[in-house]
Chains A and B, each alone.
Chain A
Amino acid sequence: MPMRHIISVLLENESGALSRVSGLFSARGYNIESLTVAPTEDASMSRMTIVTRGSEDVIEQIVKQLNKLIEVVKVVDLNEGSHLERELMLVKVKAQGESREELKRMSDIFRGRIIDVADSTYTIELTGNGAKLDAFLEALDTSVILETVRTGACGIGRGERILKV
């Protein structure tokens, strides 16, 4: 069964490193649900979080193939232990008349924040795991959603589990 896995990768912060990873996934037919990348506190290194799906065999190959890339320093399949996952979403909604109150309440329930207010719209910021963000969108009436943008998940191990060189 293809399971959802979150894979964290530390890689050299060099131009081209990202395309090696994305090229690997397309060339070998691996699935990517999301991929995020940004520099770490050590500016010479970036950290990437990849959400993918695959059988145990496929995930094992993904981890091995990532490790094989010369610029990849470390790879961890976060699913091997307990971990946290967060994603940021911005949603612009139609907010007019009485629905303004309703949307404000809804945003509060999901611990969102309204970060931009205009005459007829709100922009709501929401963080959480993917399921929570999905749930928020489902809770809204589709006709009020004007635009959404999501960062893709980033993940980190719980407690003492640390990914560092």
Chain B
Amino acid sequence: MVDLKVKLHDIEFKNPVTLASGTCGFARETAEFFEPGLLGGYFLKGTTLKNRDGNNYPRMAETPSGMLNAVGLQNKGIDYFIENIYPDIVDYDTQLIINVNGSTVEDYIALTEKVNELDKINAIELNISCPNVKEGGMAFGVSCPGAEMVTREVRKVYDKTMIVKLSPNVTDITEIAKAVEGQGADAVSLVNTFLGMAIDAEKRTPLLSTITGGLSGPAIKPIALRMVWQVANAVKIPVVGIGGIMNAADAIEFMLAGASVVQVGTAIFKDPMIPVKIVEGIEDYLKRHNMQSVNELIGGLQV
């Protein structure tokens, strides 16, 4: 028997495979395909204090080996979540993590205080990296002072595990990672999407209603992998690896580069069963390599 359990700060995941925010809804949708308890955890859809309609259609454009999205954090707000969604999912035997978004620091604080009341939510992911909203979002995540401020203020009101999600749209991601570590982040997750763009040459129009959007999928994997490796070497807190993970080999690469946990995102659009296959693939890998625990993979890159 190989041991797939990993720890992130003080919470335990039964295995390192989780789903990325915005790609797994509120976990219920994937439960129509498989038992949510098979996964380590779910980073639920980005949630804001109040209802957000998101951006106009079209919000999606296919690109070589990936896609652009401009969803813009459509969600019904935290109160709706607490009343109507949380009761449905609270008994899932997996870690449920809320992805918290604000336009102002006050929003982040008010939202976090509400999440703090939810017993079964053991962690939050502070999203300071959404490229698809006009105010807040990535504006906080692309400068050290902005990232520090949100992290510091939320830390004051939240005692459980606080993961800060980083934007790759910066000159040096390790600077931001160190900045949030300095303000009390328990872990960092990276990367969010890369700001990109697509044009319909025939029509001479943008393919997204917002003109620019966030690039995800295998197209970003090598850059995301490099960033995870750099950040893992720059900070002492654990790292959650995200970006173009399509199969078990990709997940293992992120762990070798230093990630304790991985998030699978866009891959689930191609294959809703892929997260379960990735768990199985990691288990197989460990057996093949005579490893007892998945923890042996973390930062195990041999250079």
Check if A and B associate. no
